[in-house]
Structure formats: C-alpha cells, structure tokens
Amino acid sequence: MKNKIETMDDIKLLVDTFYEKVGADKILGPIFNDIAHVNWDNHLPVMYKFWASTLLGEMGYKGNPMDAHFKLNEKQKLLDTDFNIWKQLFIETVDELFEGEIADTAKRRAVSIADLMFFKIQNYEQSAGINIGKIRK
C-alpha cells in the first residue's frame, strides 16, 4: 500500500521526485535550466512551501505564481504541449508515490492551476496586444 500525503516530508518527496522528472525531460528540462536558469536550491524550497500550503494548509508560501510564468513566457512562449507534459509528469509522480484523498486533491489542483495558468498566459498575451494597439494609434 502506498502512503498518504500527510507531512512536510511527503511534500518534499513529491516535489523532489517531480522536478527530477522535469529536469530530465527533453522539452521541460531546457526551459528550466537553459531559459529560466533556475537555481534549484532556491526553487525547490519555494515549491515545498507552495504545495504544503495548497495541500496541508500550512502557511509559508508568499509569492505570485502567475507573475513568474508571465515573465518566463516573455522569454520563451509556453505552449499547451509544455503544460500537457507538466501535468502528465505531476500526475505520474503522485500516482507512483501516494494514494488517498490528498493525493487526488494534489492531482486535481495541479491540473486546474495548470489550465488556469495557460488560459491566463494566452489572455495576457492578447491584452498586451490590445494595449500595444492602443498606444500605436
């Protein structure tokens, strides 16, 4: 039987295992390492806090996830295929390691945040386009 997601150590295992897969992925790996130049020693603890607050109700994450991805999208356009790989790897990681209600919530939240993020990125691009249009008039 697999474990439930209950403690900070569970969150760390989930996040570490997920980003190992992300780093090794031939599409996502270069986005994190070569485009965003992610400092993993900083990024992983931020993600522990993000998922601990999302899944365990622990305080500690302060940040703006949307903003980070708008900025990234300006460096390299993020595609729906990128988000599909992200979602697939996240679900795969949860299923490999955990089961139970919080594991199900983790998968549902990850998918809905990813979908919302992609939607907002597209919308943001569109409204940026409209603004530029107005300025040029």
Q: Which residues contact ligand HEM by CB under 6 A? A: 28, 31-32, 36, 38, 42-43, 46, 50, 63, 65, 68-69, 72, 78, 82-83, 86, 110, 113-114, 117
| Residue whose CB is less far from ligand HEM, 13 or 38 | 38
Q: In angstroms, what is the minimal distance from the CB of 36 to ligand HEM?
A: 3
Spatial CA neighbour of 90 closest among 76, 103, 79, 71: 103
Q: Give the C-alpha separation, 36 to 67, whole Å.
A: 14
In the bound complex, what is the minimum distance in angstroms from residue 128's beta carbon to ligand HEM?
Answer: 19
Q: What b/e sequence results for 94-128 when a residue is b if at least 16 CB atoms lie within 10 Å of its CB, and e otherwise? A: beebbeeebbeebbeebeebbeebbeebeeeeeee
Q: Which is nearer to ligand HEM, 29 or 131 (CB)?
A: 29
Nearer to ligand HEM, 50 or 98 (CB): 50
